[in-house]
A and B are shown apart, each in its own frame.
Chain A
Amino acid sequence: MSTPSPPRGLPIEISGLTKHFGSVLAVDHLDFVVEPGRVTGFLGPNGSGKTTTLRMLLGLVTPNAGRATVGGQFYRDLPNPSGTVGAVLEATSFHPARRARTHLRMVARAGGHDEARADVVLDLVGLTADGRRKVGGFSMGMRQRLELASALIGDPDVLILDEPSNGLDPQGIAWLRDFMRYLAGEGRTILVSSHLLAEMAQTIDNAVIVSHGQLKAQGTLESLTAGVAQASMHARTPEADRLCAVLTDAGVRFRRLSVDLVAVDGMSPEQLGPLLATNQIVLYELTNEGADLESIFLSLTAGLGFGELAQPT
């Protein structure tokens, strides 16, 4: 992960945030802080309250309790809202008959920004050639880029992105990843919600993991992965039956994943390697699966229990 630049962003503070929709508790006393100069992933399964939390932060949804602030102020009280916070919420919120550049000029006007910014942000997101096209003819990926351009029109210190990689092709996802890292490198605060965990693992510095509207864990990726008690080695061998017998004799926990693949839990490569050599087990492949973001996420959101560092802070 990159070393953060001196921040020009503002912290996002969520404190005791709670929201009911009728009898459904969407967000349940949520507390976390997003620091400037880092990309923070806001992760959780569908229906875990991510979008509702972001909408409360932006003043679109009124919380039943708690506070969601940017730099200590409610969004609606910011003197220059779109110059402070840029938001990417949904890639479908465009008038289909409006041209991309006209849409951005309108966004610039509403925020009190120079309309010339429309061309700047079109260039930033790689849509200059499509600026005069009507948005109705845009692909989902192009709409995501346009939404991002709208968010950047006021050159904001804080960027909030709700599932921004939806509809993007692999090239677009790679572009978005680099773009977010570039913006965070300038010191901006980046909060990005997603359920694409493999993608997020390559992008984010910090993670906030929620499930059923509750905070399950937050911290740096390193602290979260280090806190997971169960690492796993995957051994591919033509002698899987004999390996299982050896592991049983040694009192080691394992799982038979396929005919030739065995997952050995709770052992490091330094411990497992000598055991295999002593018993002269032929090995085709030995990989350290460790604890990745996906395993953390699945464990946390399934309520399977975690190490100390993975607990909410």
Chain B
Amino acid sequence: MINAVRAELLKMRSMPGIWVCFGLAFPLTALFVWAVFAQAGGTPGHTYSFVQTLNDRRQLLGAGYFGIQFLAPVLGAICITSEYRHKTITSTFVLVPRRDRVLAAKVLVTAWWCVLIALLSLVVVLALGLPWNAALGGVTSRVTGQLGAVVPGLVVATVLLGLFGLGFGTLVKNQVAGILLTIGFTFILEPILVLLARGIFHYDLNWLPSAAAASLAGSLARGGLGGNHDAATHYLPWWAGGLVMLAWGLIPLALGYYTTVRRDVT
């Protein structure tokens, strides 16, 4: 199992798609850092201000989440779909004939890369956001004092979004379809379904992936920056959001294992 994990780590590291995701995390995080200051100052793009409320301070620290909530599912999807795209799945299963171990290794490695991208976004926030906040007159220690409240939710939500992408990719196999469906389902179809459920059935559809992850990520994903999540949404408790998100990752993974991975490799 350890061998499989070490091989998967190197495999992921040597794929350009991973570095594209990490490269995109920089500008996306910077964009949302800017948005936090714009929002704190009033109308976005007009007046900037240092973060004053507790919610704003937490949103600044978790500004990377708004970018990596797109990137983490892509990381997970790439982890499995690239094997089918480049036909490396054959040699992977020859080298590690226990396919459950291969999938378990991919779960661990996806989680690892998601932790890294979450922490990278945090580093970008600290490097850009704290000096900018101080320059606008904010107190740095009041922001960093919220690290403990923000980082666990940020990291766990990112990991679970990555596992969701991995599970989806295991089912779909096709790389382009896997990435497009994962993102499309989460950020296009889900908001439409949420609106329809609320408009027609007066029901808060808060257990779909994006909303479930937002429940876990807490205030990071709520409020004005969320886009998909308006103030009227009643989120699940954080622990329930985490469990639902875990199910969104593991159920497709298990389905993919039984319907796809265990099949003949011809």
CA distance A102 to B97 in the complex (A): 21
Determine the chain B residues whose CB is within 8 A of the CB of A105 once the complex forms.
Answer: 10
Chain B's nearest CB lies how many Å from the CB of A37? Answer: 24
Majority secondary structure of chain B interface residues (helix, strand, loop or mixed): helix
Number of chain A interface residues as a range: 20 to 34
Say whether B88 contacts A110, CB under 8 Å.
Answer: no
Q: Distance in Å from the Cβ of B87 to the closest Cβ of chain A? A: 4
Q: Is the CB of A97 within 8 A of B16?
A: yes
Residue of B nearest to A75 (CB): B97
Q: Is B92 interfacial (CB 8 A cutoff)?
A: yes
Per the bound structure, the CA–CA distance linking A99 and B10 in Å amounts to: 12
List, in ascending order, chain A residues with CB within 8 A of B90's CB.
60, 89-90, 93
Decide: A59 and B97 in contact? CB cutoff 8 A: yes
Closest to A99 in B: B14
Instruction: Assess the A60–B265 pair: CB atoms within 8 A.
Output: yes
- Chain A's closest residue to B266 (CB) is A61
Note all chain B residues with C-beta closer than 8 A to A82: 94-95
Q: State the Cβ distance, B185 to closest chain A Cβ, in Å.
A: 26
Within 8 A of A (CB), among B118-152: none
Stretch of B1-9, B26-34, B194-202, B233-241 that contacts chain A: B1-9
Closest to A150 in B: B91
Mark B62-102 against chain A: 1 for CB-CB distance below 8 A, else 0: 00000000000000000000100011101111111110000
Number of interface residues of B (CB under 8 A): 25
Q: Considering only CB atoms, which chain A residue lies closest to B4 in the complex?
A: A110
Does A98 reach chain B (CB closer than 8 Å)? yes
In the bound assembly, the distance between CA atoms of A222 and B127 in angstroms comes to: 76
A43-64 contact mask (Cβ, 8 Å, vs B): 1 or 0: 0000000001001001111100
A96 interfacial by beta-carbon distance below 8 Å? yes
The one of B3, B92, B98 in contact with A76, judged by C-beta atoms closer than 8 angstroms, is: B98
- What CA separation (Å) do A4 and B133 show in the bound complex? 78
Query: Which of chain B's residues have a CB closer than 8 A to the CB of A106?
Result: 7, 10-11, 14
Contact string against B for A residues 74-114, beta-carbon threshold 8 Å, 1 for contact and 0 otherwise = 01100001100001011011111111001101110111100
Instruction: Enumerate chain A interface residues (CB-CB to B < 8 A).
Output: 21, 52, 55, 58-62, 75-76, 81-82, 87, 89-90, 92-99, 102-103, 105-107, 109-112, 150
8 residue pairs bridging A and B, Cβ less than 8 Å apart: A55-B264, A59-B94, A60-B265, A61-B264, A81-B96, A93-B87, A96-B86, A110-B96
